[in-house]
Amino acid sequence: RAAAPADASSVGHLPEIVVTAARMAQTVDASLADVSVITRAEISASGAPDLIDLLRREAGIDIARTGGPGEQTSVFLRGTNSNQVLVLVDGVRVASANTGAFAWEQLPLDAIQRIEIVRGPRAAQWGADAIGGVIQIFTRKLDGPHLAVRGGSYGDYGGSAGYGQWGDQGGASVIVGARHVLGFPATNPQNYAYSPQPDGYSNQNLAAQGAWRIGTQTLSGSLLRSDANVDFNQGTSHVIEQAAGVNLDGALTPDLSQHISLGYDREDLNTPAYQSLMLSRRQQAGYQLAWTFLPGQRLLGGVDWMHERGISRDTGNNTDTYAQSRDNLGAYAGWYGQAQRWNWQLAARHDYNSVFGGATTGSAAAGYTLNDWARVEASFGQGFRSPSLSEQFSPGYFGYYAGNPALRPERSHSSEVDLLLHPLDNLHLKLAAYRTRVSDLITFAGVNYQAINIGRAKMEGLELTSTWTTGPWTTRFSGSLDDARNAVTGARLLRRPLRKADVQLDRSFGTRFSAGLELYAASNSADYGGVTLGGYSLINAHFDWKLD
């Protein structure tokens, strides 16, 4: 999806506003980042059954599923590992403190209002984990009644209902949903662990938000909760995901604004078949100031604090294999400016972690407008990933694959050049070329396969996105050449295809009818055990009829 507003036809070509790239509101062009936005209208029109199917269409994103709906899923951004992507829900960090991974498969599409995807490192703004980029999900904001019912193959049925009302002083919205899937056997019949029983899935979810304007300040809050049961060959896992946040933001003076945030994240993963209970808790708080000291010149700075606690419990004898916590304090600052055809950004951040110590990161970017329809941008950024609590403290299995409290953060540096073109009012294109190097990768290669910092990886790629609108027709294209390899052996990183492309053609018929066709293709990819997964293609079609 090109950087231009995807719904430009409905907003008079107003520039798309994003908040994730720099932790403040700015246009996509001013962000100097490769940013994609998926709006609620696009989510509704996509026909995607879940969030995973929606994200796989985006340039630079690769998906690895381990089964049907609800099964563990990994999201790779620009070839980086799935735990090297920072995930936010309404500004709240949501990855498990135990594993560092986020349960994408548990997030219901009906509860999502908007998604912002920022490719490239954002550690200087957000801190740990933003090596490949940041994906922020904003919960649904209903205005009026909502009702949705859906069904599909393999006994897939569900729906959602909700109501919202908003005015000049604020409002509130709530939506509840459920999904049930009978499923299918997800294991290869030739596998020794094959079971003919279908792997079912059920999910109940709630999304709520509210806001109230108090003078120049706005007090807002949000809640997203998912409660799911996921079947697999040996049994069923019960998964609870919850993210909640409270924010106060607004102007202090005409040139100075503040943002105060409090957040809470919870994950419970209970697998009786393995006598395993994994609990993750995270509290977070932050304060931020933005000062426009001259026209087109803004300084932004802030501090944030985070407390994480993870527990791994053996439910067979009711003992904890580990119960650990840690704190992180970060301070950041940035200068965001523009003058004539130029705009630029300089940002820096320092994090102090109570377990592994400090980490300092920085980034720089500049953009130049060549003419009315062409613009070039260049950027450099550093990143790091904190070791997960499991990587640090897990006792392993019979003395093997144990954690290591002495682990250091993984480090990265990336560079990127982008070319943005809009030769016609209804045609927008973006070409991005990037290069990333990661060092101190955590691998289980020590004595008895203990976790140690030894690995290195390199990622290089090209991405092309475009949007073309003419009359009732809209065509979108996204294509990627992503080469992600082990920098020591030269082997391709697992489950990341070298090439992928997605083409979507949509047509509206008045205000009530629309239809679309999608073609998706991906090349082969390496997998565990020396297996190569073949390339594949998908053809999807959808038809939409608005009843009122």
> SS3 sequence, 335-352?
EEEEECCEEEEEEEEEEE
Mean pLDDT of 106-134: 97
In sign, the C-alpha dihedral spanning 17, 21, 26, 29 is: negative
Task: Check residues 287 and 396 and name the one with the higher pLDDT.
Answer: 287
Query: Predicted confidence band at 10 (pLDDT cuts at 50, 70, 90)?
Result: very low
Asked whether the predicted pLDDT for residue 172 surpasses 90, the reply is yes
Domain presence at residue 224: yes
Give this prediction's pTM.
0.94
CATH code for the domain of 40:
2.40.170.20
Quick one: pLDDT at residue 545? 86
Quick one: pLDDT at residue 45? 86
* Domain count along the chain: 1
Domain presence at residue 506: no
- Residues 213, 91: Cα–Cα separation, whole Å: 19
The amino acid present at 295, given as its one-letter code, is P
- Contact by Cβ (8 Å): 501, 521: yes
pLDDT tens sequence across 87-116 = 999 999 999 999 999 999 999 999 999 999
- Contact by Cβ (8 Å): 363, 381: yes
- Residues 58, 55: Cα–Cα separation, whole Å: 6
Domain presence at residue 165: yes
Q: Which two tokens stand for residue 419?
A: 């070319």
Domain presence at residue 12: yes
Domain presence at residue 497: no
- The whole domain housing 411 covers 8-484
- Residues 375, 367: Cα–Cα separation, whole Å: 7
Query: Predicted confidence band at 14 (pLDDT cuts at 50, 70, 90)?
Result: low
DSSP characters over 261-300: EEEEEEEEEEEGGGTEEEEEEEEEEEEEEEEEEETTEEEE
Q: Which two tokens stand for residue 270?
A: 């209970």
Give the number of other CB atoms < 10 A from CB of residue 447. Answer: 9
Query: Predicted confidence band at 66 (pLDDT cuts at 50, 70, 90)?
Result: confident
Burial group, residue 132, by CB count within 10 angstroms (0-12, 13-18, 19+): buried
Mean pLDDT of 340-357: 95
Asked whether the predicted pLDDT for residue 175 surpasses 60, the reply is yes
Mean pLDDT of 226-233: 94
Quick one: pLDDT at residue 2? 41
DSSP characters over 391-417: HHH---BTTBS---TTPPPEEEEEEEE
Mean pLDDT of 363-377: 97
Quick one: pLDDT at residue 6? 35
Mean pLDDT of 230-245: 94
Q: What is the DSSP letter of 111?
A: G
Mean pLDDT of 459-479: 96
- Contact by Cβ (8 Å): 284, 306: yes
Helix, strand, coil percentages (3-state) for the chain, rounded to 5, are: 10, 65, 30
Quick one: pLDDT at residue 305? 99
- Residues 182, 297: Cα–Cα separation, whole Å: 56
Domain presence at residue 539: no
Task: Check residues 189 and 467 and name the one with the higher pLDDT.
Answer: 467
Give the number of other CB atoms < 10 A from CB of residue 450. Answer: 16
Q: What is the mean pLDDT of the chain?
A: 93
Residue percentage of the chain with pLDDT more than 70: 97
Quick one: pLDDT at residue 13? 52
Can you list the positions of beta strands (E) in 57-143?
61-65, 73-77, 85-89, 92-93, 112-119, 133-139
The single residue listed with the structure tokens 């807002």 is 220
Query: Predicted confidence band at 546 (pLDDT cuts at 50, 70, 90)?
Result: confident
Mean pLDDT of 171-197: 87
Mean pLDDT of 235-254: 97
Asked whether the predicted pLDDT for residue 365 surpasses 70, the reply is yes
Mean pLDDT of 204-220: 97
Domain presence at residue 253: yes
- Residues 277, 294: Cα–Cα separation, whole Å: 54
Domain presence at residue 523: no
